[in-house]
Amino acid sequence: MTSIWGLPTMSLRNKRLQFKYLVERVVKRIQGWIQRYFSVEGKEVLIKSVLQSIPTYAMSCFRILKSICDYIEGECANFWWGVEGGRRKMHWKSWDFLCQPKLRGGLGFRKMDEFNRALLAKQFWRLLRNQDSLVFRVLKGRYFKHGRLLDASLGNNPSYIWSSFLWSKEILTKGLVWRVGDGAAIDIYKDIGIPSLTSKLGQSSSMGQRNNPISSLIKNGSWDQDLISHKFNSFVADEIVKIPLTVHPGRDINFGT
């Protein structure tokens, strides 16, 4: 059963059954078009604007099973190449190829599983940037009460929405950088903000430590160069002091690269 917004009104153990309605909607649309003649341009517009947009809202909240995503892609591929005499025509190119950008020879169709992950990463980003929101406070109280969102784990008996959000965290964290404010929210060894330092920091004897805010390296609004030189090798120390500090320190902020 789905709500008027197109989302399931209950969480079922059988996720294939829970999101079956998405497949049914796609198939129903195609069946309504199958006897009509469309140009290749028209088919492209229908696939991108109608078929692949049907699961968008659900994908913004839940991780959809890959088998369902693959089935929808298969139906889109069959519609693209056409059906004759009740049998699908030859598929001259793979769907993966058609999903490549047009500059690479493809047609820019969506890989539904990757699209699903990107939409959930957007929601995770919104949580990260709006930590005063009600939903953030509810999730924090349930899953990371004494920690940070970026360090949160599934926990015990997680909701399907929470597990869906965490599924997207990996691709989001790959593109995050920090703007240093007061340095209280940035961990020295996990969020240094310079990916090229990862291997260098791995050589540090302090790598196993936790809860090491960058604020401990800041003194009177500037980097404490004596302390940094003592804690890190020369390469790491030089890279850290290159990170700009704000004139009027405030809360640390995440930015996408």
Could you tell me the residue ranges of all domains in the chain? 15-110, 120-173, 177-256
Spatial contact of 18 and 8, defined as CB atoms under 8 Å apart = yes
Query: Would you give per-residue pLDDT tens digits along the chain (257 residues)?
Result: 555 456 766 666 788 888 989 999 999 999 888 878 889 999 999 999 999 999 999 999 999 999 999 999 999 999 999 877 667 788 999 999 999 999 999 999 999 999 999 999 999 999 988 888 999 999 999 999 888 888 888 888 888 889 999 999 888 877 777 777 777 777 777 776 554 445 444 444 344 445 678 888 888 888 888 888 888 878 878 878 888 887 766 777 766 54
Spatial contact of 255 and 179, defined as CB atoms under 8 Å apart = yes
Spatial contact of 99 and 106, defined as CB atoms under 8 Å apart = yes
Q: How many residues in total does the chain contain? A: 257
Greatest pairwise CA separation for the chain in angstroms = 79
**What are residue 119's DSSP bridge partners?**
none
Residue 117 confidence (pLDDT): 95
CA distance 187 to 189: 6
Element containing residue 20 per DSSP (H, E) = helix 20-33
Spatial contact of 177 and 255, defined as CB atoms under 8 Å apart = yes
CA distance 174 to 229: 28
Within 10 angstroms of residue 72's Cβ, the number of other Cβ atoms is 23
Residue 8 confidence (pLDDT): 66
Listed in sequence order, the residues at least 6 apart from 251 whose beta carbon sits closer than 8 Å to its beta carbon are 181, 182, 184, 185
